[in-house]
Amino acid sequence: MKLCVTACSILASLNLPAAIEDLSGGGGVPQSLLDKAATVRQNGGGARLTQLINDLPLLLQRNKEILDEA
């Protein structure tokens, strides 16, 4: 019982219970995941994600400059 409480606590701290859906043996992809994939595709797909990731260093530098000015 204590192991279960500990495991549940760890999962909760990682926000995993909310992130995992029960497929009840259906074997399919959860609809929420399909919806999220469609949203990613509508917003430019993988190329857009790559662009956003590549922009992060520049954005970080700009944020540092703003903080230094403040």
Looking at the 3D structure of the chain, how many domains does it have? 1
Task: Give the range of the structural domain holding residue 48, as residue numbers without chain letter.
Answer: 41-70
Give domain status of residue 25, yes or no.
no
Percent of the chain with pLDDT over 70: 76
Give domain status of residue 66, yes or no.
yes
Q: Average pLDDT of the chain?
A: 81
Give domain status of residue 23, yes or no.
no
Distance CA 48, CA 40 (A): 9
**pLDDT single digits (tens) 24-54:** 656 677 778 888 889 999 999 999 999 999 9
Asked if pLDDT for residue 16 goes beyond 70, the answer is no
Give domain status of residue 59, yes or no.
yes
Distance CA 60, CA 67 (A): 11
Asked if pLDDT for residue 19 goes beyond 90, the answer is no
State pTM to two decimals. Answer: 0.50
Give residue 61's pLDDT.
96
Give domain status of residue 14, yes or no.
no
What are the CA-CA distances from residue 19 to residues 5, 6, 13, 38, 69 (Å)?
19, 18, 12, 18, 40
CA torsion, ordered 28, 31, 36, 41, to nearest 10 deg: 70
Give domain status of residue 54, yes or no.
yes
